[in-house]
């Protein structure tokens, strides 16, 4: 009887995850969609350590939801340049307390920012509806099958181990996506569950990052939603000494340009400001 009850609870939890996944996917294409960033890490580039405690993380999640985030992206391993790799067990130790509370306390869907299949599987068991993989299923050989088995949607992000300034970055992004999409298809991930991310700030020179942002339309033929994550990134500053308080202005400018070029999901730290800006953008774009 106990085992049957547990199975029923697990089934209900899975159905709730699917409902949130479909609610999130159903928004795509109707208006700009905001993905709020929640880093439960001690070393992320912008807010490392700020939301490391459970109480601080929950307060930030609630704020992001209240400020207009359509989905909350939870990560427990920094992916900034020069970051220290984190073992799956350590990543899960950071994630499990917050993920266990998110599904019960916040109605907004949430995603898991990880490139590890073990972490992705556990996060979906705790309610994550989307796996946001910064290596596009190409780092962990088990990731594609894990995503398929859990029924989560997936973000395939372009990445590189090193920067090659002479590379045709748009062509490289397409080659990477082609391989990721083959892996997704072979694993049985439904194409409508796939989102593409050109990986701004990952394995690219500053010029290549801007080229990728300017050429999002070159990805339209995939027929898939495009996510852009430029929030607070130093590549937006012309000089390293540019005041930090200008980060929001630069981020808004980049995201509005990305929206005009075809992006539909925006991974940001400042949800309220983007919600306000996108309301104006969308009202104008619809005319």
Catalytic residue positions?
Answer: 233, 267
Beta strands in the chain, from DSSP E residues, in sequence order: 33-39, 71-75, 110-113, 130-133, 153-157, 194-197, 227-228, 265-268
User: End-to-end CA distance of the chain, in Å?
Assistant: 59
Name residues whose C-beta falls within 8 Å of residue 176's C-beta, 6 or more positions apart in sequence. Answer: 136, 138, 158, 159
Tokens of 172: 């490289």
Beta strands in 6-116, from DSSP E residues, in sequence order: 33-39, 71-75, 110-113
Q: Angle of helix 247-260 relative to helix 206-214, nearest 10 degrees?
A: 40
CA distance 65 to 23: 15
Whose tokens are 């907004």? That residue is 108
């Amino acid at each position: 009887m106990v085992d049957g009850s547990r199975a029923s609870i697990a089934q209900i939890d899975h159905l709730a995850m699917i409902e949130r996944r479909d609610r999130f996917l159903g928004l795509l294409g109707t208006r700009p969609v905001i993905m709020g960033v929640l880093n439960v890490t001690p070393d992320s580039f912008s807010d490392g350590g700020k939301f490391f405690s459970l109480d601080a993380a929950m307060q930030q999640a609630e704020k992001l939801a209240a400020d207009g985030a359509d989905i909350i992206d939870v990560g427990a391993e920094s992916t900034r340049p020069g970051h220290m790799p984190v073992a799956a067990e350590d990543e899960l130790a950071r994630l499990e307390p917050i993920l266990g509370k998110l599904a019960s306390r916040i109605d907004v869907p949430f995603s898991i920012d990880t490139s590890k299949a073990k972490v992705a599987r556990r996060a979906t068991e705790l309610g994550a509806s989307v796996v946001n993989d910064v290596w596009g299923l190409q780092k962990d050989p088990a990731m594609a099958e894990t995503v398929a088995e859990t029924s989560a949607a997936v973000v395939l992000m372009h990445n590189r181990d090193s920067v090659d300034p002479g590379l045709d970055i748009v062509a490289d992004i397409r080659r990477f996506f082609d391989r990721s999409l083959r892996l997704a298809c072979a694993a049985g991930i439904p194409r409508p569950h796939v989102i593409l991310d050109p990986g701004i700030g990952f394995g690219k020179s500053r010029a290549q990052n801007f080229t990728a942002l300017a050429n999002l339309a070159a990805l339209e033929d995939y027929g898939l939603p495009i996510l852009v994550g430029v929030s607070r990134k130093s590549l937006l500053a012309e000089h390293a000494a540019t005041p930090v308080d200008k980060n929001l202005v630069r981020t808004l400018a980049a995201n509005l340009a990305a929206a005009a070029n075809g992006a539909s999901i925006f991974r940001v730290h400042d949800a309220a400001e983007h919600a306000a800006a996108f309301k104006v953008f969308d009202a104008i774009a619809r005319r």
